Amino acid sequence: MLTLVETLPMGSIKERPEAGPTSKDWPTFFSSFRAAVKNRDREALKIMMSRNFEFRNDFGVPPDKVFADLDYGNGENWDILEKTIAKGPKPYKLPNTSRPARVAKNLSPCAEKPCRYQAWVIFELDKSNQWRWKSMIFPGD
């Protein structure tokens, strides 16, 4: 089993814990996810996140770094996340896997027009048949 680690500033190593169960039922998972985003419930979202979370263009981003970026600018990225998932994700085919996935796309998340980037929030059914928040990426950014 592969264990991901995060290097801390003082050079010590902290093991990233195994994510707990979420749900294998998409409507149940997504309802919980939407509520956690609305309430900015970091603990619930940590459990829902993939261990190899992709944020912007980086893989394996620790949850605390994701939340710090979401908090930036008075939480404007939380607002983008909420607006992106508002219409509900659609089925999606991830490259190099046959696992079920879903994507929510916000084609114009920025205030200025024309917007030069998009926001995508991707979910995947993991190997233990639990839905996970896999990534939040910004194509075009």
pTM of the full predicted structure?
A: 0.82
Write out the chain in H/E/C secondary structure: CCCCEEECCCCCEEECCCCCCCCCCHHHHHHHHHHHHHCCCHHHHHHHEEEEEEECCECCCCHHHHHHHHHHHHHHHHHHHHHHHCCCCEEECCCCCCCCEEEEEECCCCCCCCCCCCEEEEEEECCCCCEEEEEEECCCC
CATH of the domain at 104: 3.10.450
Residue-wise pLDDT for 46-85, tens only, equals 999 999 999 998 999 999 999 999 999 889 899 999 999 9
Beta strand pairing call for 131-137 and 49-55:
parallel
Residue-wise pLDDT for 109-118, tens only, equals 887 777 888 9
Q: What's the domain count of the chain?
A: 1
Structural domain for 51, as ranges: 5-137
